[in-house]
Amino acid sequence: MAGVGGGNDLQWCFAQVKGAIDEDVAEADIISTVEFNYSGDLLATGDKGGRVVIFQREQESKNHPHSRGEYNVYSTFQSHEPEFDYLKSLEIEEKINKIRWLPQQNAAHSLLSTNDKTIKLWKISERDKKAEGYNLKEEDGRLRDPFRITSLRVPVLQPMDLMVEASPRRIFANAHTYHINSISVNSDHETYLSADDLRINLWHLEITDRSFNIVDIKPANMEELTEVITAAECHPNQCNVFVYSSSKGTIRLCDMRAAALCDRHTKFFEEPEDPSSRSFFSEIISSISDVKFSHSGRYMMTRDYLSVKVWDLNMENRPVETYQVHEYLRSKLCSLYENDCIFDKFECCWNGTDSAIMTGSYNNFFRMFDRNTRRDITLEASRESSKPRGILKPRKVCTGGKRKKDEISVDSLDFNKKILHTAWHPKENVIAVAATNNLYIFQDKIN
């Protein structure tokens, strides 16, 4: 069923896939975050090995005006290394939890990347010229003897092969006792927030030795702990507003103008639980794994284990839209608990116009929901369906009874193939889907 994402004739096609093909996947290569920059020309991925890979889109070719540019590797660098906290005898994983781009202010690009404990600001700059004709050093770098210099010359810039360099410009460390789960750049372009399980800190991008704690839900007695912070985000246009979600399925909106410490929320979003659906795992499946504001700032979307909900910021008592991602898993929660899949944290994202939302599932399936037509589609990111510009066939999971042709039964789903991270181009219908160690890029078919 086509039509999701802006029009009845919209169909999704395979564009590219990045990453190794072998079945044996190294843990370090598993992609842990995907993010487009503000223009959509750059696409960054972070992996469990602490590496960041940035893809850049080619300029549209004049020969093929209707074909969009491909994404090619632009820069690769090691952002985080494994560390050891000697005081607590804990190893700190190098896995990149989140990447967030900063708005571009000059020729260089900047992004924030974070692992469990430390946030780093990376500047990615291009160098396509080098200076030649120094007075004090030879071309190979050896220093010249000053007494031998008899004349002076002005160094000249000569063109060279493009080199993309990434350098860590700021390191924001030692501000989080618990594991960082979110970072979010503020609309003022000067500050950003970072959230761990119990606290949220506000940073200034220029200042690394100081951070303001704005939310602290740690109880005086840890034995009374009942919920943790699971995600946080700044409002896209109101620089004083941010939201954070909890493991209890609630979202709190806070206004930084109200107080220095935003422990008291301005708005509290919670949908009452349906008592008839209570189970052993009710608390787990209601835990929110991701929260994202719409581009307009009027709505926000939350993802829990089985569904995606869209909330109107003006209505706190229930979401305005609820989409079931894989309701057929509700009867499988026991096994999913046993194999730990129930703890998977799926992300969600909006398209550029806020008319559609996307989130991942198992078996390398991902789902898109059109908010206007209420149509939804399930697609698969797989090598088999990856013919160049091949149209993706909608997939269907058979929940019971007779399995139709081309349907897949719930028991045949591969729970090791999970799509947790997806991203939608800010302006076009181009999506990036991370399937374990592979990055798939799909785009709409141009008619």
Partner 1 sequence: MINTMECAMDAQNLISISLRKIHNSRTQRGGIKLHKNLLVSYVLRNAKQLYMNEKYAEIYRMQQYEEVMTVCNEIQELNPLDLAEDIVEASGDCCSHVAGSPLIMEPASVCCALPASNHPAHTPHQQQQLQATAACSAAGLALQNEEVCKETNSAFFRSCCAEAYPVTDCDFSSLSAVHCNKTTVLDLDTHVVTTVESGYLHQDCCAVQCQGAQAPAKKRKFDFGCYAAESEEVPDFTPCKRARFEDFYCPHSEQLDTSNISNLISIFGSGFTGLVSRQADSEFSLNGQFCSKQTLASLGAWTRAIVAF
Residue 308: CB minimum distance to partner 1, A: 20
Q: How far is the CB of 279 from partner 1 (least distance, A)?
A: 5
Q: Residue 427 gets which letter from DSSP?
A: S
* DSSP per-residue codes, 237-251: S-TTEEEEEETTS-E
Q: Which of 23, 138, 338, 411 binds partner 1 (CB under 8 A)?
A: 338
Rounded CA separation 310/296 (Å): 13
Question: By CB under 8 A, which span of 16-24, 87-95, 290-298, 386-394 interacts with partner 1?
Answer: 87-95
Q: Which is nearer to partner 1, 61 or 279 (CB)?
A: 279
287 binds partner 1 (CB under 8 A): yes
Residue in 76, 296, 331, 409 binding partner 1, rule: CB under 8 A: 331
Among 169, 337, 417, 436, interactor with partner 1 by CB under 8 A:
337
**CB 371 within 8 Å of CB 356:** yes
Question: Rule CB under 8 A: is residue 217 a binding residue for partner 1?
Answer: no
Q: By C-beta, is 88 or 404 nearer to partner 1? A: 88
Which whole-number Å values give the CA distances from 76 to 27, 44, 58, 84, 326, in the listed order?
18, 10, 17, 24, 35
Residue from the set 77, 281, 328, 415 that interacts with partner 1 by CB under 8 A: 281
Tell whether residue 230 is a contact of partner 1 (CB under 8 A): yes
Q: Which is nearer to partner 1, 119 or 377 (CB)?
A: 119
- Under 8 Å CB-to-CB from 253, ≥6 apart: which residues? 241, 242, 243, 265, 266, 267, 268, 269, 313
Are 209 and 217 a contacting pair, CB within 8 Å? no
Q: Are 195 and 178 in contact (CB under 8 A)?
A: no
Minimal distance, residue 221 CB to partner 1, in Å: 8
* Nearer Cβ to partner 1 (181/191): 181
Closest CB 270 distance from partner 1, rounded Å: 17
Out of 258, 261, 334, 446, point to the residue binding partner 1 (CB under 8 A).
Answer: 334
- Cβ closest to partner 1, residue 90 vs residue 391: 90
Q: Which long-range contacts (CB under 8 A, 24 or more apart) does 408-414 make?
A: 408/363, 410/328, 410/329, 410/332, 413/362, 413/363, 414/362, 414/363, 414/364
Distance CA 426, CA 101 (A): 13
* Helices and strands in the chain, H and E counts: 2, 32
Report in angstroms how near the CB of residue 283 gets to partner 1 at its nearest: 4
> Would you say 32 and 411 are in contact if contact means Cβ atoms under 8 Å apart?
no
For the chain, what is the radius of gyration of the CA atoms? 24
Of 109 and 176, nearer to partner 1 (C-beta) is 176
Q: Which stretch binds partner 1 (CB under 8 A): 1-9, 56-64, 82-90, 379-387?
A: 82-90
Segment 143-182, which members bind partner 1 (CB under 8 A)? 177-179, 181
Give the range of 133-141, 232-240, 338-346, 393-401 binding partner 1 by CB under 8 A.
Answer: 338-346
Q: Which amino acid is at 380?
A: E
Candidate list 209, 222, 384, 400; residue touching partner 1; CB under 8 A: 222
**Distance of closest approach, residue 95 Cβ to partner 1, in angstroms:** 8
Q: Does 225 bind partner 1 (CB under 8 A)?
A: yes
- Cβ closer to partner 1: 281 or 415? 281
The beta strand positions in 272-320, using DSSP E, are: 290-293, 299-303, 307-312
Show contacts with partner 1 in window 18-47 (CB under 8 A).
none
248-277 binders of partner 1 (CB under 8 A): 275, 277
Residues near 106 by Cβ (< 8 Å), separated by ≥ 6? none
**Beta carbons of 256 and 240 less than 8 angstroms apart:** yes
The residues binding partner 1 (CB under 8 A) are 85, 88, 90-93, 95, 116, 177-179, 181, 197-198, 221-228, 230, 247, 275, 277-284, 287, 331, 333-335, 337-338, 340, 343
